[in-house]
Amino acid sequence: MVLAVIPRILGFAYALVLAPALVLLWRGGQITRRRALPLLVVSALLGFLLFAPMAPYQLQLVVLGDTAALGAPLAVVLGGLAFFFVVSLAGGRTFCGHLCPIGAIQEILSLAGHARLGRTRKRETMAVRFAVLAAVLVAGLAFSVNVLGALGVEDFFFLNVASVSFAVFAALMLLGVAVYRPFCRVICPYGAVLSLAAAKAQYRFRRTDLCIACGKCENACPVDEAKERDRKAECYMCGRCVEVCPVEGALRYARR
Ligand code: SF4
Ligand code: SF4
């Protein structure tokens, strides 16, 4: 279904504009979990229509040295990947939260279920994901193996429904009904990179003096990142914590 007539770079432009814009919108309180829902739908559709902005797969192609398949000049792709890292340093993983098609599909599917299985397994999931990042680098650089391709990323978005890898990736996405963002939390090599930046993010969801320690945000968070001292490396900016907070102003997206 991917439309070859539409330049893939438009998908990149969409994310390059919105990633920093979302930092500003969260900061100004103009966006909420519900208001961001249309963005998830648009991002998921762009994945199927343009196969962009598909940063995890772009990273895989860069590792493979397959510049012909990038869909944009190498410098633009590298600049884009670095730009999302810098935005994550400034304000967390806005790209993962609402702009990445893979993340958007899983976020939408998480609305269909409770997606709470394994939510306290942050350390374990992050450890596996860094192992996958290492595997992607070694397999790609030393053996020219396309790990994300084998997992079905491309076949899924190109709707190659007869392929085995389509079924593998579709099953991974469907798992997202019960387990919050399984691909993002356990597999995504680019998510592993962005988590390093998000752990140092200037702007993030923080408690203020108005917090009454009711624990509702902690209970609502699907990735165990709403506690006071959590680093927010795994915060997908879903907005659940802010949505359930009973005290206006007790939880703000702000600098320290
Ligand atoms: S972790 Fe990876 S797949 Fe998930 S939203 Fe971020 S870049 Fe996309
Ligand atoms: S509920 Fe958790 S993942 Fe969602 S925005 Fe709050 S801290 Fe981040």
pLDDT tens-digit series, residues 197-214: 999 999 999 999 999 999
Q: Is 150 part of a structural domain of the chain?
A: yes
| C-alpha neighbours within 13 Å on the C-beta side of residue 133 | 20
Residue nearest to atom 7 of ligand 2 (CA): 226
Q: Which of 102, 105, 169 to mutate to test the pocket of ligand 1 (most atoms within 8 A of CB)?
A: 102
Q: Is 118 in the pocket of ligand 1 (CB under 6 A)?
A: no
pLDDT at 118: 79
Q: Is 210 part of a structural domain of the chain?
A: no
Q: Is 47 part of a structural domain of the chain?
A: yes
Question: Where do runs of H (alpha helix) occur along the chain?
Answer: 9-28, 37-50, 55-64, 74-91, 94, 101-110, 122-143, 147-151, 153-157, 164-174, 182, 189-198, 216-220, 240-244
Low-confidence ranges of the chain (pLDDT < 50): none
- What ligand is nearest to the CA atom of residue 221? 2
Q: Is 129 part of a structural domain of the chain?
A: yes
Ligand 2, atom nearest to 224 Cα? 2
How many domains, in total, are found in the chain?
Answer: 1
Range of the domain at 74: 9-203
Q: How far apart are CA 248 and CA 158, in angstroms?
A: 44
Ligand 1, atom nearest to 188 Cα? 2
Q: How far apart are CA 70 and CA 83, in angstroms?
A: 17
Q: Is 222 part of a structural domain of the chain?
A: no
Q: Is 249 part of a structural domain of the chain?
A: no
Q: Which of 34, 122, 225 to mutate to test the pocket of ligand 2 (most atoms within 8 A of CB)?
A: 225
Residue nearest to atom 6 of ligand 2 (CA): 241
Q: Is 120 part of a structural domain of the chain?
A: yes
Question: Strand, coil or helix: what is 119?
Answer: coil
- What ligand is nearest to the CA atom of residue 151? 1
First to last CA, the chain: 45
Residue nearest to atom 3 of ligand 2 (CA): 235
Q: Is 99 part of a structural domain of the chain?
A: yes
Q: Is 241 in the pocket of ligand 1 (CB under 6 A)?
A: no
pLDDT at 49: 96
Tokens 């939390």 correspond to what residue?
185
